[in-house]
Chains A and B, each alone.
Chain A
Amino acid sequence: MSNAVWQTPEAVRRLAKRHAAERRFRLLGLSAIVLSLAFLALLLVIMLENGLGGLDWQFLTGSDSTNADLAGVWGAAKGSLLTMLVTLVLSFPMGVLSAVYLEEFAPRARWIEWIEVSINNLAAVPSIIFGLLGLAVFINTLGMPRSSPLVGGLTLALMTMPVIVISGRNAIKAVPPSIRDAALAVGASKVQTVFHHVVPLALPGILTGTIIGMARALGETAPLLMIGMRAFVVTPPGGITDPSSVLPMQIFLWSDEIDKAFVQNTSAAIIVLLVFLLAMNGLAIYLRNKFEVRW
C-alpha cells in the first residue's frame, strides 16, 4: 500500500533538501571545532619548538636571574602554588557557604535579590579593578606585605569567589527537589537535608566550577601587577608573606626582556604553565567522576 502524497516530485525534492541541510550543518560544526583546535595545536607546536630546549633541571629548579642561562622558573612556580593555596582556602569555603545560603536558606527578600545581582556583576568585573582594590585595601589600609602570595591570593580570591558562588548555585539548583522532600519527610532538619544530601549531590558541579575559577586565577596577571607581584625576585618565597612572582607574571617579564636568550625561557615557562593548567583540569575531571552519583 503506497501513499501517493509521498511520491510527488515536490515531496521528493523537499526531503532531499532537508538531508542536504543536515549535511551542511554537520560540516559547519566540524569545521568550527577543527579551526579552534588548529590554533591551539599551532600554539603548542611553536611553544614546544622554542621552549623544549630550555626545559632542563637548571630551569625547573632555578629562580629569576639577569642571566638567561641561569634563570629558572621554580621561584615563580612556587609563588603561583602559594598564591593558589591562599585563594583556594579563602574562596572555596566562602563561595560554597554563600551558594548554599542563597539557594537553600535565604528568605525571598529584596536585599537578597540585590546580593544576587551584585554577585553576578562581580563575576564580570575586569580583573585589573580587583588589583586596584587589593592594593588599596590589603596593602595600603591593612598594611600587608607587597608582592606577597598572601595579598595576591586574597585579591584572586575576591575574583574567584563569585565564580564559585554562581556555579555552586547552579549545581545546588540541579539537585532534584524530590531528594529534599525525601530527607525532610523522614525528619531530617533543614541543615541535615542540605549537608547530608543536597551538597554531596551538588559537589561534582561545585568542584568543577571551583577548578575553572582557580584555573582562571592561575593565569591572571593584571590584578597582580597592581599589587607589586612583578618584582624581580631571585629567591623562591619561603612563605606566603615573602616577595614573590607568579608564572604568568614571569612569562610577561621575560617576554619583555631585550636579551634574545629569554625567548626560549618565555616559551619554556609557558609550557610549565600549560602543564599546571592541564594538571588542574585533569584533577577536575577526576574529582567529578569520583563524586558523581549515578541515578
Chain B
Amino acid sequence: MTETKITARNVDVFYGQKQAIDNVSIDIDDGMVTAFIGPSGCGKSTFLRSLNRMNDTIADARVTGEIRLDGEDVYAASMDPVALRARVGMVFQKPNPFPKSIFENIAYGPRIHGLVQNKTDLDEVVEKSLVKAGLWEEVKDRLHDAGTALSGGQQQRLCIARAIAVSPEVILMDEPCSALDPIATARIEELIDELKDNFAIVIVTHSMQQAARVSQRTAFFHLGNLVEYGETSQVFTAPRNEKTKDYITGRYG
C-alpha cells in the first residue's frame, strides 16, 4: 500500500510572460523513485523546483494551481518556505558543496534548524548522514578536509548526505549524475535505490536508461505538458502516447 506524498493539481508555472508548465496534475508516491524525463526545455526541472518553492528565488517566476505535501498547501500563506525546504531537500545538477570542511557541510543544516543539542549529537548526525549516503568509509578519517577537494562523485554524495542530515521527507534530484562519470553514476544510482525506502525521491534525468534503472514511476514531459505518467515498466515497454513512444525509442529529443 503506497501513500501519496505530493499531489499537484492544475499547476501552471510562468517566467514573466512565458509559460513553462501548463496544467500539470500528478501524484507522487512515498517510498519510491519517480523519474521526470523529457527533452531539454520541457519544463521538468521547472516543475521540480516548484515542489520545494526554489522558484521563489527567481524574481518573475509565478506558480498557479495547487501543490500539496501530505495534504498541506505548499503555496499557502501559512507555509514557511524555509520549513518546507527542510522537509523537501534538493540535490542539484552540479555538485555544490559549501567551500567548508566535509563535517561543516553536513552539520550546517542540523545546526540552523536546532536539531541537535550538543557536539555528540551533531557528530552522530554527521556520521549517520554520511553512512546513509555511502560516503562514510571514504571520508571518516578526513572529516575536516575541504568538501570541495573530494572527487565529483564524492561531492555529489556529500550533497546527498547534506540533504539527508535535516531529515527530509522528500528528496528532489535535478539531473544529479549529469556531471559524473559512469562509475560515480552507478554509485549514486545504487544509493538512490537504497534511499527510496526512507524518502520519496523525485529525479529529473536526461538518461532514459537511468530512469528505467532507478525509478518505479516515470513522468514524461513535453513542451510544458505532462504527456504520460505511470509505472516505469509500463511507460518504457508499452507507452500509451505516441510522443512518449517516439521519445523513448530515440526518435527525437
- State whether the Cβ of B67 lies closer than 8 Å to any Cβ in chain A: no
Distance (whole angstroms) from the CB of B51 to the closest CB of chain A: 12
User: Ordered nearest first, which 10 A-B pairs have the shortest CB separation?
Assistant: A187-B86, A178-B96, A186-B109, A185-B90, A293-B99, A182-B96, A187-B85, A189-B82, A295-B148, A187-B82
Q: A178-B96, A179-B96, A295-B148 are in contact. Are A185 and B163 (CB under 8 A)?
A: yes
- Contact indicator B54/A196 (Cβ below 8 Å): no
- Contact indicator A181/B82 (Cβ below 8 Å): no
Distance (whole angstroms) from the CB of B160 to the closest CB of chain A: 11
Cα(A197)–Cα(B98), bound, Å = 8
CB contacts (< 8 Å) of A188 on chain B: these are 82, 108-109, 112
Q: A180-B57, A181-B90 are in contact. List 16 more A-B contacts (CB 8 A).
A: A178-B92, A179-B98, A179-B99, A181-B54, A181-B96, A182-B92, A185-B54, A185-B90, A185-B91, A186-B162, A186-B165, A186-B166, A187-B83, A187-B166, A188-B109, A197-B98
CB contacts (< 8 Å) of A180 on chain B: these are 57
| A interface bracket (residues with beta carbon within 8 Å of B) | 20 to 34
Cα(A182)–Cα(B89), bound, Å = 10
**Contact digits for B72-116, partner A, Cβ 8 Å, 1 yes 0 no:** 000000000011111001111010111100000000110011000
CB contacts (< 8 Å) of B92 on chain A: these are 178, 181-182, 185
CB under 8 Å from chain A, chain B span 150-176: 159, 162-163, 165-166
User: Could you list some 21 contacts between A and B, CB below 8 A?
Assistant: A176-B96, A178-B94, A179-B98, A180-B57, A181-B57, A181-B90, A182-B97, A182-B98, A185-B52, A185-B92, A186-B89, A186-B109, A186-B162, A186-B163, A187-B86, A187-B113, A187-B166, A188-B109, A188-B112, A295-B99, A295-B148
- Contact indicator A186/B96 (Cβ below 8 Å): no
- State whether the Cβ of A275 lies closer than 8 Å to any Cβ in chain B: no
Q: Which residues of A contact B (CB under 8 A)?
A: 108, 176, 178-189, 192, 196-197, 201, 293-295
- State whether the Cβ of B1 lies closer than 8 Å to any Cβ in chain A: no
Cα(A176)–Cα(B148), bound, Å = 14
Cα(A183)–Cα(B54), bound, Å = 11
Distance (whole angstroms) from the CB of A21 to the closest CB of chain B: 39
CB contacts (< 8 Å) of A189 on chain B: these are 82
Distance (whole angstroms) from the CB of B202 to the closest CB of chain A: 13
| B interface bracket (residues with beta carbon within 8 Å of A) | 20 to 34
CB contacts (< 8 Å) of B94 on chain A: these are 178
Distance (whole angstroms) from the CB of B92 to the closest CB of chain A: 6
Q: A108-B59, A192-B112, A295-B148 are in contact. Are A184 and B98 (CB under 8 A)?
A: no
Distance (whole angstroms) from the CB of A204 to the closest CB of chain B: 12
Distance (whole angstroms) from the CB of A102 to the closest CB of chain B: 14
Determine which residue in A187, A188, A293 has the highest number of CB atoms from chain B within 10 A of its CB, and name it. A187
Distance (whole angstroms) from the CB of B88 to the closest CB of chain A: 9
- Contact indicator B82/A182 (Cβ below 8 Å): no
Cα(A184)–Cα(B56), bound, Å = 11
Which residue from chain A places its CB closest to the CB of B106 in the assembled complex?
A: A186
Cα(A188)–Cα(B159), bound, Å = 15
CB contacts (< 8 Å) of B96 on chain A: these are 176, 178-179, 181-182
CB contacts (< 8 Å) of A108 on chain B: these are 59
CB contacts (< 8 Å) of A184 on chain B: these are 54, 57, 85
Cα(A76)–Cα(B56), bound, Å = 54
Q: Which of A181, A187, A201 contacts B109 (CB 8 A)?
A: A187
- Contact indicator B99/A185 (Cβ below 8 Å): no
CB contacts (< 8 Å) of B52 on chain A: these are 185
Which residue from chain B places its CB closest to the CB of A293 in the assembled complex?
A: B99
Q: A108-B59, A179-B96, A295-B99 are in contact. Are A186 and B108 (CB under 8 A)?
A: yes
Cα(A236)–Cα(B81), bound, Å = 57
CB contacts (< 8 Å) of A186 on chain B: these are 85-86, 89, 108-109, 112, 162-163, 165-166
- Contact indicator A201/B99 (Cβ below 8 Å): yes
CB contacts (< 8 Å) of A293 on chain B: these are 99
Cα(A240)–Cα(B223), bound, Å = 67
Cα(A179)–Cα(B97), bound, Å = 8
Distance (whole angstroms) from the CB of B62 to the closest CB of chain A: 14
- Contact indicator B59/A185 (Cβ below 8 Å): no
Cα(A185)–Cα(B174), bound, Å = 12
CB contacts (< 8 Å) of A295 on chain B: these are 99, 148
CB contacts (< 8 Å) of B83 on chain A: these are 187
Cα(A185)–Cα(B166), bound, Å = 10
Cα(A178)–Cα(B52), bound, Å = 16
- Contact indicator B112/A182 (Cβ below 8 Å): no
Cα(A183)–Cα(B113), bound, Å = 12
Distance (whole angstroms) from the CB of A192 to the closest CB of chain B: 6
Cα(A168)–Cα(B54), bound, Å = 26
Which residue from chain B places its CB closest to the CB of A182 in the assembled complex?
A: B96
Distance (whole angstroms) from the CB of A182 to the closest CB of chain B: 4
Determine which residue in B54, B59, B89, B112 has the highest number of CB atoms from chain A within 10 A of its CB, and name it. B112
Cα(A181)–Cα(B84), bound, Å = 14
Which residue from chain B places its CB closest to the CB of A107 in the assembled complex?
A: B59
Distance (whole angstroms) from the CB of B100 to the closest CB of chain A: 8
